[in-house]
């Protein structure tokens, strides 16, 4: 992100009453894809700076912001990375939540909603996650995004729990947060390993399985297990996995 955009962000968030809230959005800041030119990323930055108002307040319109940016950018650069544009808006929305004057409880709910919206994507953008049946890296990229969001959410949950004065309630809150987020992170790690095996052309040989029916059976088992792990990692990813041709 260039200095101009950083200054714009700082200007906008300064209008809110600041309240200390230990929410670190840094892991969500997307890195420009290697195949995207400086001209493309610069155009995206410029477009983002013009729609920051859509990302503030309770009625933040991520979908509208994305629609406006993608329309302008893709008309000039058809190959611009859609995931990068969407991720950038989600990161900025996280920053606004962090710096807003809302209570910690409200911020926690907003972050949860942001997580859901990130993986569902803009309603009108069906190809935001264009993972095909042979594109294992695409799914692994999205699993990485899921893990980043979960880590941010986990830290925010813990910090929220620490604001509870009652010792018993605070401990209960912390336990629930650790179990919930921990289980999902484990599921994300499992799905990544399963997808690695599923897309490895040498997987059957590595497991001393002869190519043929036995290998096909193993692939079906891997598909089912990966799908189930993705459901626990993030339901939207599991749905995309199924739509890419990996069973029901």
Quick one: what percent of the chain has pLDDT higher than 70?
Answer: 81
Provide the token pair at 237: 């990813």
CB atoms within 10 A of CB 102: 18
* DSSP sequence for 26-93: GGGSPPPPTTS-HHHHHHHHHHHHTSGGGGSSTT--HHHHHHHHHHHHHHH-TT--HHHHHHHHHHHH
> Which residue has better confidence, 75 or 119?
75
Question: Helix H segments across the chain?
Answer: 3-13, 38-49, 62-76, 82-99, 104-120, 136-161, 167-198, 203-206, 213-233, 235-243
Provide the token pair at 215: 């290998």
- Cα gap 142→108, rounded to integer Å: 23
Where exactly are the structural domains of the chain?
Answer: 1-107, 129-248
What is the per-residue pLDDT across 125-170, written as a single tens digit (0 to 9) for each? Answer: 544 455 655 666 777 777 877 777 777 777 777 877 888 888 888 8
> Which residue has better confidence, 126 or 173?
173
Question: CB–CB of 23/159 below 8 Å?
Answer: yes
| 133 membership: H or E segment, kind and range | none
């Amino acid at each position: 992100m260039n200095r101009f955009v950083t200054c714009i962000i700082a200007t906008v968030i300064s209008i809110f009453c600041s309240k200390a809230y230990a929410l670190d959005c840094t892991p969500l800041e997307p890195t420009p894809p290697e195949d995207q030119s400086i001209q493309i990323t610069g155009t995206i930055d410029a477009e983002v700076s013009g729609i920051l108002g859509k990302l503030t307040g309770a009625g933040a319109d991520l979908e509208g912001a994305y629609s406006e940016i993608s329309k302008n950018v893709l008309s000039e650069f058809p190959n611009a990375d859609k995931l990068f544009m969407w991720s950038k808006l989600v990161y900025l929305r996280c920053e606004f939540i962090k710096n807003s004057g809302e209570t910690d409880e409200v911020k926690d709910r907003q972050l949860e909603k942001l997580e859901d919206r990130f993986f569902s994507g803009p309603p009108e953008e069906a190809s935001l996650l264009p993972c095909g049946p042979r594109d294992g890296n695409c799914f692994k990229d999205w699993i990485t995004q899921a893990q980043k969001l979960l880590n941010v959410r986990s830290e925010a949950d813990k910090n929220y729990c620490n604001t509870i004065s009652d010792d018993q309630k605070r401990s209960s809150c912390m336990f629930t947060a650790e179990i919930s987020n921990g289980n999902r992170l484990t599921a994300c790690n499992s799905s990544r390993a399963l997808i690695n095996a599923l897309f490895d052309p040498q997987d059957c040989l590595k497991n001393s399985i002869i190519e043929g029916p036995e290998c096909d059976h193993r692939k079906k088992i891997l598909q089912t297990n990966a799908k189930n792990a993705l459901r626990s990692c993030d339901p939207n990813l599991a749905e995309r996995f199924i739509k890419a041709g990996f069973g029901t």
